[in-house]
Amino acid sequence: MQPKRNAARRNLRKGLDLIFVHNPVLITGLALAPVIMGGFTVKNGMGLSLVFAMVTIPVLVLSSFLGMLPEKIPQYVRTIACAVLAALMLIPARLLAGGIAPNLFDSLGMYFSMMALNTVWLVCAPSCQKKKPQWALWDGVCHSLGFFVCTLLISLVREFLAYGTFWGGATALPVKFPPAAYAFGGFIIVGSAAAALRWGIDRAQDIGRLVRRQQKKWRMGR
């Protein structure tokens, strides 16, 4: 019973790490293209996160089920099945995205559909074949959360800098930096965000180490 519980705890922990410590976009560098080119307003960022979740979660679960098939079936057939499911998931995603903003599909252009080929599921699907469906689901949810958090923050900053607005509403920013919405601004802002996240994680780990050392000392003293 104990090893099983430990494995579950490890899986839970691994999934939660995907939100910050192993963030799929900022730390691992997956699915960068839509964030750089599409994520320049909060609405776009929300739309991208929605499509990401709609595509990644089912595909990872499917690949976990595909892992149960006999080994005779070659690997590429499973990849093709995943890709077809990802493409089909674009249709409900497009219907739901209309709820966020009616013109979201047009304003994101080809970057909306590009989420179906995001590198997250391409990289994680093979490893998910060895996982149980519930843990593949948990992986997908955590990947989506990590993507959502970072895309939301980046698109918020970019919309604020480029247009001086927040969710389309005006704010009191006196100077606007239009390149924040261009490709090169996207590269630089995403790069800086990645550096900032790394810096934050390093500091958090430093603090954690310090606390643990103090705890140890305290225990020894007692």
Query: Nearest 5 degrees, angle CA 206-CA 212-CA 213?
Result: 90
Interaction of residue 103 with other proteins, rule CB under 8 A = no
User: Which of 74, 170, 172, 221 contacts other proteins by CB under 8 A?
Assistant: 74
Q: Which stretch binds other proteins (CB under 8 A): 131-139, 163-171, 190-198, 204-212?
A: 190-198
User: Which of 7, 69, 173, 196 contacts other proteins by CB under 8 A?
Assistant: 196
Query: Nearest 5 degrees, angle CA 141-CA 143-CA 145?
Result: 70
d(C-alpha 70, C-alpha 62), whole Å: 15
Binning the chain into helix, strand and coil, the percentages to the nearest 5 are: 75, 0, 20
Q: What are 104's two structure tokens?
A: 């979201």
Q: Which stretch binds other proteins (CB under 8 A): 8-16, 104-112, 138-146, 164-172?
A: 104-112
d(C-alpha 151, C-alpha 27), whole Å: 13
Interaction of residue 91 with other proteins, rule CB under 8 A = yes
Interaction of residue 36 with other proteins, rule CB under 8 A = yes
Interaction of residue 195 with other proteins, rule CB under 8 A = yes
170 has which bridge partners? 165
d(C-alpha 136, C-alpha 143), whole Å: 10
User: Which of 11, 94, 149, 164 contacts other proteins by CB under 8 A?
Assistant: 94
CB 95 within 8 A of CB 172: no
Q: Catalog residues that contact other proteins under the rule CB under 8 A.
A: 27-34, 36-37, 74-77, 79-80, 83-84, 86-88, 90-91, 94, 105, 109-110, 112-114, 116-117, 119, 122-123, 175, 177-179, 182-188, 190-192, 194-196, 198-199, 202
